[in-house]
Structure 1
Amino acid sequence: MISADDLIALVRTYNPKTNEQLIRAAYDYGGLMHEGQFRHSGEPYFSHPVTVAAILTEQQLDDATIITALLHDTIEDTKASFSSVSEMFGTEIAMLVDSVTKLTNLQLNSTETKQAENFRKLFMAMSKDMRVILVKLADRLHNMRTIKSMRPDKQVQKARETMDIYAPLAGRMGMQWMREELEDLAFRVLNPEGRSSIMRRFVLLQRETGDVIQKITGDMRAELKKAGIKAEVYGRAKKPYSIWRKMQEKELSFSRLSDIYGFRVITDSEDDVYRTLGTIHQRWFAVPGRFKDYVSQPKTNGYRSIHTTVSGRDGKRVEVQIRTRQMHDVAETGVAAHWSYRDGKRSQNPFAVDPSKWIAQLTEQFDSEENHEDFLEAVKLEMYSDQVFCFTPKGEVVKLPRGATPIDFAYAIHTRIGNACVGAKIDGMRVPLWTRVKNGQSVEVITAEGQTPQTTWLEIATTGKARTAIRRSLREADRDRFIKLGRELARSAFGQLGKKATDKALSTAAKHLRLTDADEVLARLGSAELTGREVVTAIYPDLSPKEGKAVDSRRAVIGLGKGQSFKRAACCEPLPGERIIGITFRGQGVMVHAIDCARLASFEESPERWIDLHWHDGTHAAEYGATLQMTIGNDAGVLGRICTLIGETGANISDLHFVDRKPDFYRLLIYVELRDASHLHSLMRVLEAENEVATIERYRDTATSEPDGTQSRPH
C-alpha cells in the first residue's frame, strides 16, 4: 500500500503548494476508520481508497479531490458521519464524500424505470460537482483491476455494469484512456476466450511482420524532420476489445481487419497540426471517408484532434491522430483537465471545458423528456453514440449521433421544423427521410403548412429528442380517443382485482409512473404505451413473499458480536432492507437504529459504542413493526375497509390509536407488522390509492427517550 509520504510526493510533483498536513490527516483518519476491514483479496481495505487517490494524481487533480478519494468509503462503510468529516476537513470535502457515497448506492443496472431515475440522480450529482464522478470512475477502475478476488457471478455483474455504463461515461467525458482500460478489463471477464484469441493472433502477426509500430513510427519521424516540423510520434496496437468490436461491427475476420495500429503525433502549434496532416498525406495514401477534423469542430467535451487513416508500410492501414500538447492534455483527461493543477494553481488550458457548461449541454435535452423510457433512450444515445457534423444551408453546424436521419436533423433545429417536415435535400439532392446523414453533408429540410408527424417516423428517427417530439404530437392528435379507450381498459384491469379505477387510484398510479396526471395515464393506456397490468402494478404490486431462504428473526442482523442480542429502536423502527447502525448498551445488548435516525446524534460522543450492521438477505417474516399516520374520512365502514386492505397485503395490525377525531375525518396511528421496507412502501401505495385516505405517512417518534435508548409510543 502506498504510504502517506509517497502519496503526498505524487501530489507535490504537480502542485508544490499542496496542503500536505490536510492530506496526511485524511490518510490517517481513513486508515483509522477502515481499521480491521479487509478486501475480498485479503488486503487491508484502506489500500483501496489510497490507490484510488493515486489514480487521481495521474490526472493532476486538486487536494479536495485527492482527500475525497481517501475518504470516499468512510461514510458508507465505517462509523464516520457527514458531520465528523465536515468538522475535520470542511464542508466542501464532506459534500464530495457524501455525493460519492450516494453514487455508490445507485443501482445503474437495475430495472428500466429505476435505472432511468438513478441516471437522473447521477447527472444531478455531476451537475453539482464534476469531481464526484471523477472519484467514482477511479474507484471503479481500481475495483476492475482487482476483480479476480470477487465471486464469479459478482465479477460478471460488475463487468457488465462497467461495459454498459462506466466505460461509455468515461469516454463521453473525454477520458479515452480510462474508457479503453475499463472496456478491456470488463472484456477479460465477459469474454475471456475472445480476448485470448485476439492476443494470440497479435503474437502471431508480430512474428510474421516484425515490429510494425517501430518501423512506421520511424518513417513518420523521418518525414516530419524532412518537412522541418518538430513533433513527437507515438504508436501502439489497439486494445483487444476495440479490435473485437470492429470485427463484430464490420463482420470481418482478424486477418481482414486492417487498421489495428494507431499513431499519435503531438505538435507545438495548431499550424503544425495541419502541416503534419499535409506531410502524412503526401507520403502515404489517405483512405477515403476516414478523415475527421475535430480541431475546427471540437467535441462538446473539449476534445480536439485531426483523425485520418492512411495506407502505411506494406499497405497496412493505420489511424493517425494529430494534435497539439494542450489538445493532448484535454484528450487524455477530458473534462478533468478543468481541475488539473500546475505549480500549485489551476492550470489554464484554453481547450479545457468548464464542467458546469459541459454538464448543462449534456442534460439540456434530458430535462424535457416526459417519461423514463424517453429519458433513458436520450441518455444512452448521448453516451454511446459517435457524432456526425452536418450543416444547414446557412453553414451552421448541427451535431447528431451516427446513424441519424433528416428527421433527426429537423428536430435538432426546432420541434416546429420537425413536425412540419415533408422531405429533405442532402447536398442539393432530394433524398428519402430514412437516409443516414454523413459527416460534412449539407442538409436542407422541406416543410409544409398543415403537416403533422407520421407514425412511421418513429422507425426512422434515432435521437431521443426527435422520438419524444413525434410521440407527443401523435398522442395529442388522438388524445381524446385514447383517453376514452384507456378508461375502459383501466376499468377492466382494476376489475380483475376487485378494485375500481377511480380518479384517486389513477392519480396515484400517475405519481408512481412519473406521469403528469390521471388523463396522461389513460391516454398512454389507450395508445398501448402502457399496459393495464403496468398501471395496476403501480398501485398494487405483488406483495407475496419473495422466494428465497427464510430468515430467522433472532438472527436477522449481521455484524453482532458473539453472544450479542439486538432490539429494534422504537424511535425509528428500522425494517429489513434499510441501512442500520447498532448502539451497544451494557447488559442490554445492541439497539438497532435506522441510519437516518435523529437519535443517533446523541451518541456521537461515544463512537466506541457504534457497530456497523446490516440485515440478512432472504425472506423475513411479517413481524417487524412500523407506524403509519393516516387521515381518513369519518364515514361508516371506512376504517373497516382500511383494515381489510392492510390484511390483503399480508400485513398485520398490532395496535391502533386515534390522535384526533373531527366530524368529517379521523387522524390515527396504526401499528402494522411487515416483512421489510419494500413491504411498507407497497402497503402505503395501496392505501394512498383509496378515496377515503386523505394523507398517509410513516410516523417516527423521537420525542421521549427511555433508559435503554428506546422510545415509548404515544398514547
Structure 2
Amino acid sequence: MVEAADLPVPEAYAQQVARDANILLAKASAYLKAEDIPLLEAAFRFSAECHQTQFRQSGEPYITHPLAVADILADHHLDTQALMAAFLHDTMEDTGVTKLELSDRFGKHVAELVDGLSKLEKLEFQSKEEAQAENFRKMLMAMARDVRVILVKLADRLHNMRTLDAVREDKQKRIAAETLEIYAPIANRIGLHAIYQELEDWGFRYLHPKRYEVLNKALKSARGNRREVVGKILDAIKQKLADAKINATVYGREKHLASIHKKMHEKHLSFSEVLDIYGFRVIVDDVSTCYLALGALHGLYKPRPGAFKDYIAIPKPNGYQSLHTALTGPYGTPIEVQIRTHDMHKVAQAGVASHWMYKSGDESFGDVQQKTHQWLQSLLEIQSMSGDSVEFLEHIKVDLFPGEVYVFTPKGKILTLPQGATTVDFAYAVHSDVGNRCIAARINYDLMPLRTVLKTGDQVEIITATTARPNPNWLNFVVTGKARSHIRHFLKTMRYEEAVHLGERLLAQAARALMNQSTDLPEEAWDRYLRENAPSKREEILADIGLGKRLGLVVAQRLLTLAGLFAVGEAKSGPILIRGTEGVAVQFARCCNPIPGDPIIGLIKQGQGLVIHTHDCPQVSGRGYKLDPDKLLEVEWDVPAGKLFDVQIKVLAMHERGVLAQIAAAISEAAANIENVRMDNEADRYTEISFTVQVENRQHLAKVMQSLRSLESVVRINRLKS
C-alpha cells in the first residue's frame, strides 16, 4: 500500500499519485503472484525518489509518467520485470543511476530492459539524425533479445503522445512524425492493434492539426446521419446468423481518423466519398464456423468482387487471422466485415502481448511468438549487414510497410513480402546465398526478369549460378531491408577488396617514382608505419589509397623514410595499365565515356577510387587540373581482346519506314551490340536516334560509324561524350 505522506512529491499531487499507484498495484495483483507486488512497490518508490526533483512540462511530478507507462502495460498483463522496467525506464537516462546499481537492487533482467530503453547520450554523433538512428538501432537490438523492451517503449511513447499538448509546436510535429514513421508501424508489425491505432491517431492529430479538426467534426456529423442505417445492417446480420444457427457476437466498429485520412490521401477521395467508415466484426467459436458465417453473410448481401481476403489460411506476418469481406448493403452502402474466432480476436487486439494476457496452450498464440521471433532475428541479420545506424534504420523502415503479398515456393511454402517486392526480394527471403547467386526466375512456370514485381498467389522458382554475384542495379528495384542490406554488404566487400589491389599498384608506382627504380617496401617499415597510424591495418591503408582517401605518394614517402631508403628522385614512374576488368575501384567517367584508343588520364577521387577520363575532358583539362595536379595519374590502356565498352552515338536519319531496322542491321554487321536505343522526332522529315553500343575500342567504333554513313537514310552521325 502506497501512502501519500511517504511520497517525495509536492503535497498538491501526493494524494492523486498515491491513489493511481494503489489502483495499478491492485490491477497487477489480479494476475501476478502475491510475492511480486512488493517488488513492484519497491521499484515505484525507488523511481519516485530518483525523479523527486523533476517535473514534466505540464507541471506534474515526473513520477506520473512512469506510473502511467506501467499502467498501460498492466492492461496488457505484462509480467513483473516489465512493470518494474516501466517504473525505472528513465532512471539511467535522467537521474544518473547506473546499470550496475539497478542490477544489484532489482536483478539483471530488469537492468537489461532499462538499459535497452536508455538513449546513448554520452556518445558524440555527427548529426541529430545519426544520434536518432543509433538510438533506434540500440533499442531494436535490445528488442531482438527481449521483446518486452519494445512493449515498454511503445507504452512510453503512447503516454507521451497522450500528453503532447504541453510541449512546443515544433517539437510536437517532430515527435508526431517520428511516431508515424517508426513506432506506429512497429506496433502494427508485432500485432498491438489498439496501440497502433491510437498512436496513428495522435500522430495525425499533431502533425496535421487542421486536417484532424475538420475530419473529426465531419466524422461526428456522419456518425449521427448514418446511425439508423448502421443499426439496420447490424440487426440484419445478427438475424441472418441466428437463422443459420451460428452462435456469434456481432458489433459495429468505426474506422479511426488516421485510417480515413490515409484512404482519402492515397485514393484522392473527399470525406463524403469514403463510405466505408463503419465496419462490422463477427466473433464465432471455431474456424469452421468462420466460413459458415461468411457463406451466410454472402447470402444476405452481395459480395464485392476481388475484395475477399482469407487471413485464416494465410495469416499476416504478425500472426493476425481473420476473414475479410466487402459487401454491398441496403441503399448501396459499402459494408466491411471481419470474421474471426475468440482466440483470433485476442491475438488481433494484443499481438505478441497476448502471450502475457492470455495464458493458453492454443497454438495461435505460439504462432504469434514464432513469427515475432523470426522478424526479430531478421533484424539481427540486417544489422550485421548494415554499414552504419542510418543505413540500418533505412532498411528497417522499408520492412515496416503495412502492405503484403503472399507468394509460394515450388514446394508450396508461403512467403510474405511487402507490396512491390520483386523476384530478387523473394530470392533473399529464401536464403541470402540464393539471392547472391540468382540469375533468373520462373513465375508461374514462365521465365521472367528479376525486376518483375510479384503478386499474391504467384509461384516463384529462382534459378541460380555458382559464378553469379549481386548486381548494383538491383538496388534500384528491391524493396525489402534484407535484400538491400545483403546487396550493399556484398558490394562494399567487393569494392574494398578491389580498392586494396588498386592501392597496392598505386603505392608501388609512387615508390618507383621516388626511388627511380622498382623497390620492395620492407616489413619493418610497414610495422612502424602501422604503429604510427593505429588502429589502422595494412589493408585499410591500401584501400584508402585505392579509394582516394590517402595519397600513395605521401604513404610511400613515409614508408621509405622509415626504412632509411628515401632519396629525392626526379624520374617519373611508368603508367598504370587499365585493363577494364578492375571492378568498382576503377571507374570510367560518365562525362567523357573513354574507350580503348582514346588518350586517357586517371584522377584519384575520394571515396570513388581511380576515375578514368579522356585527356580533353573538361573535368581534368580545366580548372581542376591546375588546382590539384597531385591527384592526376598517368594511365594507359592494356585491354584483353573481347572486352566491350559502352559508347553513345547520335544518328540523324530520314524519317521513313524501316529506318531503325536498317541502322540496327548496320550496327550488327559491324560486330557491335546495341545496349540501348532512344528515338526523338526532330521534324517531319528527320528522326534523331540515340544509341548506346558496345565496342572493343576506338577503331571498332570507327568501323561502326563508317557502316552507318554508308546508309542513304543517315544524314549525320556523331559520338556523344556526356
Q: TM-score range by the shorter chain?
A: 0.5 to 0.7
**1:323-334 correspondence to structure 2 within 5 Å:** 323-334=340-351
Distance 1:516 1:341, change over 3 A: farther
Letter in structure 2 aligned against 1:336: A
Counterpart pick for 2:107 among 78, 84, 90: 90
Distance 1:347 1:45, change over 3 A: farther
Please say if residues 51 and 63 of structure 2, whose CA atoms lie closer than 8 Å, have aligned partners that are also in contact. yes
Letter in structure 1 aligned against 2:461: E
Distance 1:84 1:472, change over 3 A: closer
Q: Which moved more, 1:354-363 or 1:2-11?
A: 354-363
Letter in structure 2 aligned against 1:462: V
Give the structure 2 partner of residue 371 of structure 1.
387
Alpha-carbon displacement from aligned partner over 1:556-578 (angstroms, at most 9, x marks no partner): xxxxxxxxxxxxxxxxxxxxxxx
Alpha-carbon displacement from aligned partner over 1:435-464 (angstroms, at most 9, x marks no partner): 321222222345568665555433232223
- TM-score where L is the length of structure 1: 0.64
Give the structure 2 partner of residue 692 of structure 1.
none
Distance 1:87 1:467, change over 3 A: closer
Q: Answer yes or no: is 1:185 the counterpart of 2:202.
A: yes
Distance 1:105 1:67, change over 3 A: farther
Counterpart pick for 1:357 among 353, 370, 373: 373
Give the structure 2 partner of residue 119 of structure 1.
136
Instruction: Give the whole-Å Cα distance in 1 for the aligned partners of 2:289 and 2:417.
Output: 29
Counterpart pick for 2:89 among 55, 60, 72: 72
Give the structure 1 partner of residue 600 of structure 2.
none
Please say if residues 11 and 60 of structure 1, whose CA atoms lie closer than 8 Å, have aligned partners that are also in contact. yes
**1:21-420 correspondence to structure 2 within 5 Å:** 21-78=38-95, 80-102=97-119, 113-340=130-357, 349-353=365-369, 357-358=373-374, 360-372=376-388, 375-419=392-436
Q: Answer yes or no: is 1:465 the counterpart of 2:482.
A: yes
SS of 1:229's partner is coil
Distance 1:210 1:5, change over 3 A: closer
Alpha-carbon displacement from aligned partner over 1:579-626 (angstroms, at most 9, x marks no partner): xxxxxxxxxxxxxxxxxxxxxxxxxxxxxxxxxxxxxxxxxxxxxxxx
Distance 1:103 1:310, change over 3 A: farther
Letter in structure 1 aligned against 2:452: T
Instruction: Give the whole-Å Cα distance in 1 for the aligned partners of 2:364 and 2:485.
Output: 39
Instruction: Give the whole-Å Cα distance in 1 for the aligned partners of 2:126 and 2:344.
Output: 34
Distance 1:288 1:449, change over 3 A: farther
Distance 1:440 1:29, change over 3 A: same
Following TM superposition, by how much is the alpha carbon of 1:207 offset from its aligned partner in structure 2, in angstroms? 4.7
SS of 2:118's partner is helix
Instruction: Give the whole-Å Cα distance in 2 for the aligned partners of 1:330 and 1:454.
Output: 41
Instruction: Give the whole-Å Cα distance in 2 for the aligned partners of 1:168 and 1:509.
Output: 40
SS of 2:240's partner is helix
Give the structure 1 partner of residue 514 of structure 2.
none
Structure 1: tracts of 5 or more residues without a match: 491-501, 537-715
Please say if residues 71 and 97 of structure 1, whose CA atoms lie closer than 8 Å, have aligned partners that are also in contact. yes
Q: How many residues were matched structurally?
A: 521
Letter in structure 2 aligned against 1:288: P
Instruction: Give the whole-Å Cα distance in 2 for the aligned partners of 1:306 and 1:140.
Output: 31
Distance 1:187 1:91, change over 3 A: same
SS of 2:253's partner is strand
Alpha-carbon displacement from aligned partner over 1:626-678 (angstroms, at most 9, x marks no partner): xxxxxxxxxxxxxxxxxxxxxxxxxxxxxxxxxxxxxxxxxxxxxxxxxxxxx
SS of 1:57's partner is helix
Instruction: Give the whole-Å Cα distance in 1 for the aligned partners of 2:463 and 2:92.
Output: 57
Larger helix fraction of residues: 2
Instruction: Give the whole-Å Cα distance in 2 for the aligned partners of 1:267 and 1:187.
Output: 34
Give the structure 1 partner of residue 690 of structure 2.
none
Distance 1:374 1:71, change over 3 A: closer
Instruction: Give the whole-Å Cα distance in 1 for the aligned partners of 2:318 and 2:259.
Output: 21
Instruction: Give the whole-Å Cα distance in 1 for the aligned partners of 2:536 and 2:483.
Output: 24
SS of 1:14's partner is coil
Instruction: Give the whole-Å Cα distance in 2 for the aligned partners of 1:212 and 1:106.
Output: 59
Letter in structure 2 aligned against 1:144: M
Distance 1:260 1:443, change over 3 A: farther
Following TM superposition, by how much is the alpha carbon of 1:367 offset from its aligned partner in structure 2, in angstroms? 4.1
Alpha-carbon displacement from aligned partner over 1:323-356 (angstroms, at most 9, x marks no partner): 222222222222122233669x999944441598
Alpha-carbon displacement from aligned partner over 1:491-549 (angstroms, at most 9, x marks no partner): xxxxxxxxxxx9969998999xx999758966877679xx967799xxxxxxxxxxxxx
Letter in structure 2 aligned against 1:243: I
Distance 1:323 1:125, change over 3 A: same
Distance 1:381 1:90, change over 3 A: same
Instruction: Give the whole-Å Cα distance in 2 for the aligned partners of 1:505 and 1:213.
Output: 78
Instruction: Give the whole-Å Cα distance in 2 for the aligned partners of 1:292 and 1:273.
Output: 13
Instruction: Give the whole-Å Cα distance in 1 for the aligned partners of 2:167 and 2:431.
Output: 49
Please say if residues 501 and 546 of structure 2, whose CA atoms lie closer than 8 Å, have aligned partners that are also in contact. no
Distance 1:413 1:68, change over 3 A: closer
Distance 1:265 1:532, change over 3 A: farther
Distance 1:203 1:101, change over 3 A: same
Following TM superposition, by how much is the alpha carbon of 1:397 offset from its aligned partner in structure 2, in angstroms? 1.4
CA RMSD of the aligned region, Å? 4.2
Give the structure 2 partner of residue 498 of structure 1.
none
Please say if residues 389 and 438 of structure 1, whose CA atoms lie closer than 8 Å, have aligned partners that are also in contact. yes
Alpha-carbon displacement from aligned partner over 1:375-406 (angstroms, at most 9, x marks no partner): 33431122234321101232121221111122
Instruction: Give the whole-Å Cα distance in 2 for the aligned partners of 1:395 and 1:101.
Output: 44
SS of 2:479's partner is coil
Instruction: Give the whole-Å Cα distance in 2 for the aligned partners of 1:282 and 1:503.
Output: 83
RCO (CA 8 Å, sep 6+): is it higher in 1 or 2?
Answer: 1
Instruction: Give the whole-Å Cα distance in 2 for the aligned partners of 1:402 and 1:391.
Output: 15
Please say if residues 238 and 262 of structure 1, whose CA atoms lie closer than 8 Å, have aligned partners that are also in contact. yes
Instruction: Give the whole-Å Cα distance in 2 for the aligned partners of 1:346 and 1:297.
Output: 18
Instruction: Give the whole-Å Cα distance in 1 for the aligned partners of 2:547 and 2:465.
Output: 32
Give the structure 2 partner of residue 596 of structure 1.
none
Instruction: Give the whole-Å Cα distance in 1 for the aligned partners of 2:196 and 2:351.
Output: 11
Letter in structure 2 aligned against 1:26: A
Alpha-carbon displacement from aligned partner over 1:207-236 (angstroms, at most 9, x marks no partner): 543344433333322222222222222322
Letter in structure 1 aligned against 2:385: E
Letter in structure 2 aligned against 1:357: H
Following TM superposition, by how much is the alpha carbon of 1:427 offset from its aligned partner in structure 2, in angstroms? 3.0
Instruction: Give the whole-Å Cα distance in 2 for the aligned partners of 1:47 and 1:516.
Output: 57
Structure 2: tracts of 5 or more residues without a match: 1-16, 508-527, 549-582, 590-603, 610-722
Instruction: Give the whole-Å Cα distance in 2 for the aligned partners of 1:323 and 1:507.
Output: 64
Please say if residues 330 and 351 of structure 1, whose CA atoms lie closer than 8 Å, have aligned partners that are also in contact. no
Larger Rg computed on CA atoms: 2
Following TM superposition, by how much is the alpha carbon of 1:110 offset from its aligned partner in structure 2, in angstroms? 6.1
SS of 2:319's partner is coil
Please say if residues 327 and 336 of structure 2, whose CA atoms lie closer than 8 Å, have aligned partners that are also in contact. yes
Letter in structure 2 aligned against 1:91: K
Following TM superposition, by how much is the alpha carbon of 1:119 offset from its aligned partner in structure 2, in angstroms? 3.4
Q: Percent identity?
A: 41
Instruction: Give the whole-Å Cα distance in 2 for the aligned partners of 1:467 and 1:347.
Output: 33
Following TM superposition, by how much is the alpha carbon of 1:146 offset from its aligned partner in structure 2, in angstroms? 0.4
Letter in structure 2 aligned against 1:320: V
